[in-house]
Amino acid sequence: MTIAVLPLGTTFSRRFLLPTCRVGASKWLSRASLPRRYSTAVPGGNVEDLNRTRNIGIIAHIDAGKTTTTERMLYYSGFTRRIGDVDDGSTVTDFLPAERARGITIQSAAITFHWPPQQEESSNSLTLEDVDKKGLPRSAVSHTINLIDTPGHADFTFEVLRSLRILDGAVCILDGVAGVEAQTEQVWRQASTYGIPRIAFVNKLDREGAAFGRTVKEIGARLGGWPAVCQIPWFEGGDGKLQGVGDVISLQGLLWELGGDGKKISVSNLSTLEQSDRQFADELKKARIALVELLSEHDDTMVENFLEHDEDHLAVKPIEILESLRRCLLGDIKNKIIPTFAGASFRNIGVQPLLDAVVNLLPSPLERPDPEISINNVICGLNEYLEGKAMVGTSSGSQKGKKGVVPRSKPATSLQKLEACALAFKVVSDAKRGVLVYARIYSGILHRNALLFNTNLQISERVPRLLKMYASDAVEQESVSAGHIAVFVGLKYARTGDTLISYTGNKQSPPEPLNTLQLRPINVPPPVFFSSVEPHSLSEEKNLQTCLALLLREDPSLRVTQDEDSGQTLLSGMGELHLEIARDRLVGDFKAKASMGNIEIGYRECITGASSTTSKVFDKEIAGRKGKAGCEAIVEPLAEEQETQQNRDDHVYTQTVDGNRITIELPNIGEKKGKQADDMFPAHLSIDMVKNALLAGGLAALARGPKYQFPLHGVDVKLRFDLEQHLFGTETTASAISAAARLATQSALWEVSSSSGLMEPVMNVSISVQESALGSVVHDISSSRGGHVVSLDDDASSSSSTESEESNTVDVSKIYAPRDPFEPSSSQSVSASLSATNQSRTISAKVPLKEMVGYLKHLRSITGGRGTFVMSVDRFEKMGSQREKAILAEIRGI
């Protein structure tokens, strides 16, 4: 048998095949190796196979190195010719002026590239089927990667949420010095709600104080999964500078040229490592044994492979380990196993193997669960419906008595004409191209000039231009297929969360029930800060309103309201930085001639008693036309358990908006739907128009409380529109119905105004401090700031885990982690060091938002500059009488 051994200094640029060899008593069987192709040749061709597509996101705590890692990915893939730098403001993905000025990501940026880089050679003609037959990993062929770099700051949580909504997988980047931070836990939980498979990359291992072993332990303790260590850091001399990583899967050492651009990598096999760095080779073997053992506990196929190799951990084939990791990652219990990698992006170490892991481990669009849709009030999967497996009813009279049954002929025909279905997840106003609508295509092929029907707004728009975005650059497309991200240019009305379908029928809108098809929407969190916005002159008022409309279409987590007393325009957002960025965008990018006032807290008003039935008739001229309509209203406090309840009666419609529930009752409709229901109204009205008008009237009344003029929260509004009492022929317009609903709701609110109270936002706060400052911070939160501590350290992570992760308890003592270079001794375990006095502790607390304004400066003063915190809205809570008086006095300047 011939043994091929490359010396430590061997470099490669395209492919390296692991030799067949024998080390000690281990039986290294003849096996297909892991090809590594890190060449940066200019991409050529076009990979559109969905199996070779990855829609991934980069998620992390702020300043963990997301954008730095993304810039290296683009450079090594051949997409860019130089490495962008966050400090220099030369990054591709952070292209907004505010992002480059502040050195943070504000908007999620989408970019497409290929990994491994596409080649102009015959080897690129390999298919995944060829790769599978040859026992090679998926990274042996080029894949299309649609990557989204997301913000890390808590104020831009919605930007992360709308990106997560359309991802198939994610890379969670961890700071090797700080470990698992508070925002890391929060974004991890958000990804769990969408069931997104994730791999972890421990970054910044070149920094002083970096601890890969400790971070691995924290992954298990705080993220609720078993870290599968796939790489270990390789330090010069065992505890010197980071020089490379040990690949546990292939049992190779990857050594980067120090000070280089990261393209020159030396690869050494295990036998070479045992001669040159025995200590590192021994640790690599320990890591391989631990990895095989961990996978064997969760994957039966790995147990079979292990037994086939005579229970030799080192003899298990790399491809078998990769496939086992993939099965664990994409299986029924997602993220029970967390593949963990190592590197230092700023030093250009570890990024190429991370890209290999993205291709080898994360799913293609075809491997993700069927996207959830709502169609005609039936919840099912999109593909389930398109394949005719879902039972969805129509309003056809012939189907009476067969609710839930689809007539075969008509839907079959309409489904054949459904060309594509997409979800708009982001809207951006571009100075050169106009409004850009980012959308994930979930089915079919969407063509340029296609007519798109918006099922949320019930309108049609034609898309004249179709783009694929490469950060701030764009490439024109004739069509975009399912599984990819497209950008529409020229849409005037589409918003974030809207479902867009392309239908080739003769009609402007598709037939029922296709016109009700909606993909799972993106939830918008409530704003908690607000600031007044004033134009510099009356002549600038119209332009300001236009600019604000653009800003709100871009970012739905912003809100604009009008103060009826002062006439001021109020802009509300998620945090102080959020509103500062909105101001910069409004004035700097949209050129609005306006100024913003001080940022203030958005309080809410609540009621504590129920009103009687209040009936109002609106009878006035609207725009020179007589309008007349009536409505009945009842208001009462909304119990927490009622917030998500939905009424199933056919003539009753409920919707929860901003913590209030509005129930609309149309008693004359009965079981009639669709055209039969529309026939009950005059020709100029339809049931949908009436429902929308009543909803708009109720929301208008709730925008301003009867006692303190703050928006109302926790109110249950019941609106009743009786066709016999409240409909007055052609005089009853949608505007009149909306006005009648507003008057009736306002009247009911005034009836209970004496019992109104004031509510304030209470925040979920996660504070990271050193052990020595723990007592001071806990005392400050509990006494001075009126909050209460929920838990510390491990309790915080477990209490905030999702239900699926709570069932996966992780014994930290059983987690394998290599010894960190600066550990006091090899006998002292990483688990024990976690409780050292200089170790970071996490405090989970609930604190009123008012007490958290400017808290960072105070926290740093009592922690010696080492404390950090993140917070998110938990709920609105009614104040006590004394606190209410104090807050009102402060607001009124008394």
Q: 806: pLDDT confidence band, cut at 50, 70 and 90?
A: very low
* CB neighbourhood size of 576 (10 A): 14
Is residue 673 very low, low, confident or very high in pLDDT (cuts 50, 70, 90)?
A: low
Q: Angle of helix 278-298 relative to helix 300-308, nearest 10 degrees? A: 130
Evaluate whether residue 25 is within a structural domain.
no
pLDDT tens digits for range 86-102: 555 555 554 445 444 44
Q: Which pLDDT value is given to residue 321?
A: 97
Contacts of residue 809, Cβ cutoff 8 Å, sequence gap at least 6: none
Please report whether residue 481 resides in a domain.
Answer: yes
Q: Say if residue 844 is exposed, middle or buried (CB neighbours under 10 Å; 0-12, 13-18, 19+).
A: buried
Answer with the residue of higher pLDDT: 859 or 400. Answer: 859
The pLDDT value given to residue 839: 65
Q: Is residue 810 part of a domain?
A: yes
Give the list of residues 6+ apart from residue 861 with CB closer than 8 angstroms, or none.
none
Residue tagged 């799913």 (tokens): 363
Amino acid identity of residue 64, one-letter, is A
In a domain, 5, yes or no: no
Residue 299: inside a domain? yes
Side chain identity at 596, as an amino acid letter?
M
DSSP readout, 303-332? HHHHHHTTT-GGGS-HHHHHHHHHHHHHSS
CATH (domain of 309): 3.40.50.300
Residue 601 neighbours by CB under 8 Å, 6+ apart: 528, 529, 530, 760, 761, 849, 850, 853
> Are 136 and 176 within one domain?
yes
For residues 162 and 17, give the distance between their C-alpha atoms in angstroms, rounded to a whole number. Answer: 41
Average the pLDDT over 40-44 and give the result. 37
Beta bridge partners of 632: 615, 720
Does one domain contain both 777 and 847?
Answer: yes
Nearest of 133, 150, 137 to residue 58 by alpha carbon = 150
In this predicted structure, the answer to whether residue 205 has a pLDDT above a threshold of 80 is yes
Task: Say whether pLDDT at 753 is over 50.
Answer: yes
Residue with the bigger pLDDT between 563 and 615: it is 615
Average confidence (pLDDT) over 150-170? 75
Grade residue 564 by pLDDT with cuts at 50, 70 and 90. Answer: low
Count the domains in the chain.
5
pLDDT at 777 over 80: yes
Identify whether 278 is part of a domain.
yes
Please provide the distance, in angstroms rounded to a whole number, between the alpha carbons at the two ends of the chain.
91
Give residue 238's pLDDT band: very low, low, confident or very high (50, 70, 90).
Answer: low
Is residue 740 domain-shared with residue 773, that is, in the same domain?
no
pLDDT at 824: 54
- The answer to whether residues 445 and 385 belong to one domain is yes
Residue 69 near residue 345, CB atoms below 8 Å: yes
- Binding site for GTP: residue ranges? 60-67, 149-153, 203-206
Known binding-site residues equal: 60-67, 149-153, 203-206
Alpha carbon separation from 755 to 582, 749, 758 (Å, rounded): 36, 10, 10
711 and 588 within one domain:
no
pLDDT at 615 over 70: yes
Q: Can you give the residue range of the structural domain that contains 636? A: 614-755
What pLDDT score was predicted for residue 509?
A: 76
Average pLDDT rounded to a whole number, residues 402-414: 46
The rounded mean pLDDT for the chain is 81
Q: Is residue 327 part of a domain?
A: yes
Q: What's the token pair of residue 15?
A: 């492919």
Determine the pLDDT at residue 622: 80
Supply the pTM of this predicted model: 0.74
CATH number at residue 715: 3.30.230
Range among 160-169, 411-420, 648-657, 665-674 rated most confident: 160-169
Q: Over the stretch 71-83, which tens digit does the pLDDT of each residue have? A: 899 899 888 877 8
Domain closes at, from 542, 567, 601: 601
Per-residue pLDDT tens for 433-481? 888 898 999 999 999 999 999 998 889 999 999 988 765 677 899 999 9
Sole residue written with tokens 């529930």? 661
By CB atoms closer than 10 A (0-12, 13-18, 19+), residue 279 is exposed
pLDDT exceeds cutoff 80 at 345: yes
Copy the structure tokens of residue 814.
């059983």
pLDDT range class, residue 681, cuts 50, 70, 90: confident
Residues 363 and 390 in one domain: no
User: Which has the closest alpha carbon to 288: 243, 231, 327, 236?
Assistant: 231
> 788 and 846: one domain?
yes
Rounded CA gap, 168 and 137, in Å? 19
Work out the average pLDDT over 824-840: 49
Per-residue pLDDT at 311 exceeds 70: yes
Q: Is residue 18 part of a domain?
A: no
Is 162 found in the same domain as 141?
A: yes
Identify the CATH number of the domain in which residue 552 sits: 3.30.70.870
Q: Where are the beta strands (DSSP E) in 589-639?
A: 594-596, 600-601, 604-606, 614-622, 625-637
pLDDT number for residue 154 = 57
Q: Which residue has the tokens 């970096």?
A: 210
Answer yes or no: do 213 and 135 share one domain. yes
Higher pLDDT, 842 or 19: 842
**Cβ atoms within 10 Å, residue 370:** 14
Q: Are residues 623 and 765 in the same domain?
A: no
* Dist. CA 307–CA 34, nearest whole Å: 22
The answer, yes or no, to whether residue 171 has pLDDT greater than 80, is yes
Portion of the chain with pLDDT greater than 90, in percent: 39
Report the C-alpha gap between 709 and 739 in whole angstroms.
Answer: 19
The band of 124, judged by pLDDT with boundaries at 50, 70 and 90, is low
The residue among 412, 518, 402 whose CA lies nearest residue 456 is 518
Please tell me the distance from the alpha carbon of residue 343 to that of residue 176, in angstroms, as a whole number: 9
